[in-house]
Amino acid sequence: MSETSQDERVSADDDDVVGGSLGDTTAETSDLFRNRLSTDEIYERALIEADEEIGRGTRELFFSGLAAGFAITITVLLYASMTNAADGVPIVGALLYPIGFLYIVLGNYQLYTENTLPPVALVLDRLASVPAMLGMWATVLAGNLVGGSVGALLLAHGGVVSSEVATTLTGIAMTGIETAWFDLFFKGVFAGLIVAGVVWVDFGVRDSTTRFLLVYIAFLAIPLGGLFHVVVASTELLYLVFLGEIGLLYGTTHFALPVLLGNTLGGIVLVTTINYYQTSDEVHELSGTLSTSEWLFTNETALDPEKLKEKLESKLSH
């Protein structure tokens, strides 16, 4: 082989190495950024999940909500037990507060403030009607309250807790009753913001370990911040009612109701003002949406999950 040919071959090989290195680097950089979903992709997942959930039957929604309500009883029980064991040290007492929410999120149960928030996006895009969303909310909340009431009854009269823990639990529940109405409302708003943030970020999570840490840390912030979650508050309220400490109507209007309104407003504000409006116009321009009359006065949804997924996939580049 001539010297010239050898030089040309070495030069060509060098070009291949450089080109390959640059190509690999570009690919690795692209893959690095693709480890994170775009805002539109997270919104797409939220829409599809919401469409599946809002299309579930009333029986499925109710019993899933009932299971979630009973799971919250575990949070109430362990929060009181841990607080009693720690002689009232707040951060120690709060360490097991998220346990019921971990069961719910990882088990995909229906909780009013978690799985009922994504359907708001469906309604904003006219893919589901307002009555359909409200019907889902009512069914899930009813299931949550029934599950929580069963748990509260067992805590009050089932011999589940010691007299010391029962005293601690009564004190925790009375703290909410004694808090001013508007203070409860705004504390509920902040709790709703935390919950809606968990719902949104969870759609971008790809492994169970990250999901576990997300849920644990976020819901730990509720007791540490002195905030209130409506299903926990309702369970504590019913516990006091079963003990004869307060009346149901008084507790509902002065405790559970402001927390419910605050949680709902906080969640919806986050969904509408941040998550919804930060997505691109393409993801909101779907054909086959509901007319104004269907949107306001019927129990309709525009698309089944598979058709919705196809339409979204055609608008988004992944």
107-119: pLDDT as tens digits? 999 999 887 788 9
What integer pLDDT is reported at residue 33 of this predicted model? 52
More confident residue, 53 or 250: 250
pTM for the full predicted model: 0.85
Q: What is the pLDDT of residues 276-318, one digit of tens each?
A: 888 888 777 776 789 999 999 999 887 777 777 777 776 665 5
Q: For the chain, which domains are there?
A: 37-317 (1.20.1080.10)
The first and second tokens of residue 237, run together, are: 């309220």
Q: Measure the CA–CA gap between 244 and 230, rounded to whole angstroms.
A: 21
Helices (H), the chain: 3-34, 39-54, 58-85, 90-93, 99-107, 119-124, 130-157, 163-177, 181-202, 208-224, 230-243, 248-251, 257-269, 292-297, 305-315
